[in-house]
Amino acid sequence: LVADDTVKICQIGGELSTSAKNFARGYLEMRGIGIINVANLYGLSAIRPEKRLDLVVALKPDTDLNKVDRTGIRRKKFQVLDVEVPLIEVPVAAGRETARLIGVAALDLQLRRIGYDMADEFNKRILEQMNEGL
């Protein structure tokens, strides 16, 4: 956790750095439970004073489920302080493990950064299969 509601974003070179306002650092609001101290519950490794902003996740109502990209080939961007950041849209619905889906999106981004694109590989496999069938 870097920040809950009050995120400070600074541009350093071509990258964005995020941090929390000092009074809120390490605290998280959990609806129905209240304010929690993340470090006390999960240990110091669960919080960071700052982190580079690599991904923007837009949580959408599940009514938009048919409007999101199902292949991952079309990449969206979100502009923050004149820096384009990858954007994913995740439909939220009862029973969907939203945190796990966001974790998978972060891992996918890391793989793409080192040159492995799962969606592109799958698309190539489909095209190869189609060409073999001709």
Predicted local confidence at residue 134, as pLDDT: 61
Predicted local confidence at residue 64, as pLDDT: 63
Structural domains in the chain, sorted by start: 1-53 (no CATH), 54-128 (3.40.50.300)
Predicted local confidence at residue 61, as pLDDT: 84
Predicted local confidence at residue 55, as pLDDT: 92
d(CA 90, CA 102): 8
Predicted local confidence at residue 73, as pLDDT: 76
Predicted local confidence at residue 89, as pLDDT: 87
Q: Each residue of 8-27: pLDDT tens digit?
A: 899 988 899 999 887 888 88
Q: Each residue of 120-134: pLDDT tens digit?
A: 899 899 888 888 876
Under 8 Å CB-to-CB from 89, ≥6 apart: which residues?
A: 57, 58, 60, 64, 68, 69, 76
d(CA 82, CA 132): 45
Q: Each residue of 58-108: pLDDT tens digit?
A: 888 877 666 777 777 778 899 999 899 999 888 888 888 888 999 999 999
User: Beta 83-92 vs 56-61: how paired, if at all?
Assistant: parallel
Predicted local confidence at residue 132, as pLDDT: 84
Predicted local confidence at residue 92, as pLDDT: 86
Binning pLDDT at 50, 70 and 90, where does residue 6 land?
confident
Predicted local confidence at residue 75, as pLDDT: 85
Predicted local confidence at residue 14, as pLDDT: 86
b/e map 88-119, b = 16+ CB within 10 Å: bebbeeeeeeeeebeeebeebeeebeeeeeeb
